[in-house]
Amino acid sequence: MRQHLLVDGDDTLWENNIYFERTIAAFITFLAHSTLTPEEVRHVINEMERMHGYGTENFARSLEATYRRLAEREVSAEDIARVHAFAQDIRQHPIEILPGVEATLAHLAPRHDLVLVTKGDPDEQRLKIEASGLEPYFRRAEIVPEKNVDTYLRLVEELALDPETTWMIGNSPRSDINPALAAGIHAVFVPHPHTWVLEHEELQPVDGRRLLTLERFADLREYF
């Protein structure tokens, strides 16, 4: 039976968070705090990211705010420029498609209705989609500011999807899986070892909705 497959982008189709993790490690080394552990600095960065939101521009703001709060030396314009340069390096990193993704999309596209659903800064996400070369496998690409229950309900209505044959596929329990299930569609959880900590959440199954957990994106070929 033909299914509607909504597919996440970051850390489902291509690498994303590993670049932020590397940047955070470099930032913590640059900060060189005399008493706080890397984990404690990271906690402050997480707090700032909750305030500022997604994307590299907001990430740069989060790093700057963290630096201004924790720096044990006078904050100079050169230091702030260096902090922002950490984040800008992420933008310039080439897209790295995850293993098995393109072959799996080539298998799925003729059989099912594929829609790419990604969240974040529209310009930044559009550049990622274009650079990935994967867009031809999808009927359309949806860039949304947030993935919550209302987002999935809207997509079901606007795209005329049948909830009984609609699945959200992604690596984030918070954004891809739990709100999709709560909105009345099915979900496929494909864990990524470096999913952003703010996307972590316990899976919340919903009666009457199917939830699959797969080790790899390529395993979709066994079910669809």
pLDDT given for residue 52 in this prediction: 87
Alpha carbon distance, N-terminus to C-terminus of the chain: 9
- Give the residue among 72, 85, 17, 87 at the shortest CA–CA distance from 41: 72
| pLDDT value of residue 198 | 84
Q: What is the pLDDT of residue 91?
A: 81
- Stretches where the chain sits below pLDDT 50 are none
- By the 8 A CB rule, do 169 and 188 touch? yes
Six-digit token pair at 221? Answer: 């070929």
117's CB contacts (< 8 A; 6+ apart) are 6, 7, 8, 9, 141, 142, 144, 147, 155, 168
- The per-residue pLDDT for 161 is 97
